[in-house]
Amino acid sequence: MNISPEEFGKLFDDFQREAFRLETRDDYSRSGGVAAYKAFLAGEPQPEEYKTAGWVATVQDAVQAGKRMYRVHILSRPLSDYLRFELAWGYQRNQAAGEEFFILDTTEQENPLEGVPDFWAFDERSIVPMRYSDDGEFLGAEVMTGDQAAKWLEYRDTAMSHAMPFPEWWDRYAPE
């Protein structure tokens, strides 16, 4: 069932224990933070509104309430311009707010989740697969519950078992 942006946003307020995200794309440049991405590409400092974006408060509130927010990003090197931006600015900012990041680097290994789309899993009950255009625009999402959740949770577990913590990956592979 397709969900509205408001219903999707409410899931971040309502989850009780954990919210997991699988990211599979090299480009989300048309899905938010467009001005910050342009500033990054131009070598400018981070815009203040990017540093204090609503997502930062969402993460902080959840973590302070004892909830876990974490994600795995499947990627390969060399990084796209967008991934350099996302990891250098977005992940660093969100990590400071309490979100956990892991990298499943497929540069030297096969992708164990080839063809699996981006999704969020909330409390192992609500799964939200997401759709994007080829040029990084968010197109929508649907929510699944019940029996449908099991296969998505297996995807989560596979991603986590093949990923390394972002700080470790960044120390090793951060672009110069």
- Whether 154 and 124 have beta carbons less than 8 Å apart is answered as no
Q: How confident is the model over 46-57, as a mean pLDDT? A: 91
> How much is the pLDDT for 164?
98
- Cα gap 105→132, rounded to integer Å: 21
Query: What are phi and psi for residue 89, nearest 5 degrees?
Result: -105, -55
Which candidate, 142, 128, 98, 131, places its Cα nearest to that of 20? 128
- What is residue 31's predicted lDDT score, i.e. its pLDDT? 87
Q: How many domains does the chain have?
A: 1
Indicate the average pLDDT of the chain: 94
Separation between Cα atoms, residue 141 and residue 8, nearest integer Å:
8
CATH number at residue 72: 3.30.870.10
The pLDDT tens digits of the residues spanning 54-81 come to: 999 999 999 999 999 999 999 999 999 9
Looking at residue 25, the DSSP 8-state letter turns out to be -
State pTM to two decimals: 0.95
Instruction: Find, among 165, 15, 5, the residue nearest to 91 by Cα.
Output: 165
Residue 46 is part of which domain span? 2-173
Q: In this predicted model, what pLDDT tens digit does every residue of 28-43 receive, in sequence order? A: 998 888 899 999 999 9
Please, which residues bridge with residue 2 across strands? Answer: 142
CA separation for the pair 128, 141 (Å, rounded) = 6
